[in-house]
Amino acid sequence: MSVRRPDPLAQVSDFDIRLLRIFRSVVECGGFSAAETVLGIGRSAISQQMSDLEQRLGLRLCQRGRAGFSLTEEGREVYQSALQLLSALESFRTEVNGLHQHLRGELIIGLTDNLVTLPHMRITHALAQLKERGPDVQIQIRMIAPNEVEQGVLDGRLHVGVVPQASALSGLEYQPLYSERSLLYCAVGHPLFYVDDQQLDDARLNSQDAIAPTFRLPAEIQAHYQALNCTASASDREGMAFLILTGRYIGYLPDHYASLWVQQGRLRALKPTVRFYDLSLASVTRKGRRPHLVLESFLESLAATR
């Protein structure tokens, strides 16, 4: 009658790994008694653990008794294999932990145009910190209209975006970043350029050809455009600046963006104490996104640069 051998080990469980660590210590200490201090458990417990391992493997690993401790041929082979397995596990742990210290990968950002002239350069500072933490991180910046930024984050083409904060879209998370003031401007050559504000009544101002943005804005800001005679439109602020600088249109621009042209005498703000609005800009990410260490590191830096 043949004796049925135990089935080969189908998989290595956490329990098996714990037993193999005990086996390694026993071998390196040269026996059960010497391993008691290292393992912090009694000899009988070690003996039971070794019996469990031998039963799990279906192999006799060592001889123990009056003659002392010694490995069987199979025990020597299992010991070498255990060293390779435990070394691989340690390397895996080290590499995974290292990812938290040495960032790798890509960050794709969609930005509304003309944020770089903001005095508080939170995006710039956050990118600098990200690059310092992860020199190998590859950064892509895409300057696109706000509506495209939100859509890009939704469909996964962008990891993060920065947009004017209007009503929140389902599926996106918004975190406030900036508040910027926009004033109503005209350019040199426009009929109102040299008209004193005190002589400029609302009816005359509202009758001028003006520019409306095509991107989403809060309702209270849209009211500023509804009061104007908007005969042109633009998908972004740079497009609005192009039209204003023709000297044929009036339109709102962020004051930080327009300041250089104002200093050059090419733009002037019209009735700036009453014709202005403040707009919040926010970072936008997708809800329920997969873990992305580079993105989380950037968002962490962004939140810290206040």
The torsion region of residue 156 among left (phi > 0), alpha (psi -120 to 50) and beta comes to: left
Whole-structure pTM value: 0.62
Domain annotation covers residue 1: no
Domain of 268, in residue numbers? 108-305
Mean pLDDT of 227-239: 93
Residue where a domain stops, chosen among 66, 81, 96: 81
pLDDT, tens digit (0-9, with 9 covering 90-100), for 121-173: 788 888 899 888 888 889 998 988 888 888 899 888 899 998 888 888 888 99
C-beta pairs of 141-148 under 8 Å, 24+ apart in sequence: 141/109, 141/111, 142/108, 142/109, 142/110, 142/111, 143/111, 143/113, 144/110, 144/111, 145/112, 145/214, 145/215, 145/235, 145/236, 146/112, 146/215, 146/216, 146/236, 147/214, 147/215, 147/216, 147/235, 148/110
Q: What is the CATH number of the domain that holds 177?
A: 3.40.190.290
Residue where a domain stops, chosen among 81, 97, 124: 81
d(Cα 174, Cα 216) in Å, to the nearest integer?
14
Indicate if 54 and 119 belong to the same structural domain. Answer: no
pLDDT for position 167:
80
Domain annotation covers residue 227: yes
Domain annotation covers residue 95: no
Indicate if 113 and 231 belong to the same structural domain. Answer: yes
Indicate if 153 and 291 belong to the same structural domain. Answer: yes
Mean pLDDT of 265-291: 92
d(Cα 56, Cα 19) in Å, to the nearest integer?
10
Q: Is pLDDT above 80 for 185?
A: yes
Indicate if 134 and 279 belong to the same structural domain. Answer: yes
Indicate if 138 and 236 belong to the same structural domain. Answer: yes
Indicate if 75 and 130 belong to the same structural domain. Answer: no
Indicate if 77 and 146 belong to the same structural domain. Answer: no
Instruction: Give 68: exposed, middle or buried? Use CB within 10 Å, 0-12, 13-18, 19+.
Output: exposed
Domain annotation covers residue 90: no
Most confident of 59-68, 72-81, 96-105, 201-210: 201-210
pLDDT band at 31 (very low <50, low <70, confident <90, very high): confident
Indicate if 69 and 188 belong to the same structural domain. Answer: no
Domain annotation covers residue 9: no
Domain annotation covers residue 7: no
Mean pLDDT of 256-278: 95
Length, in residues, of the chain: 306
pLDDT band at 3 (very low <50, low <70, confident <90, very high): very low
Q: How many domains does the chain have?
A: 2
Q: Is pLDDT above 50 for 271?
A: yes
Indicate if 118 and 259 belong to the same structural domain. Answer: yes
Indicate if 29 and 163 belong to the same structural domain. Answer: no
Domain annotation covers residue 97: no
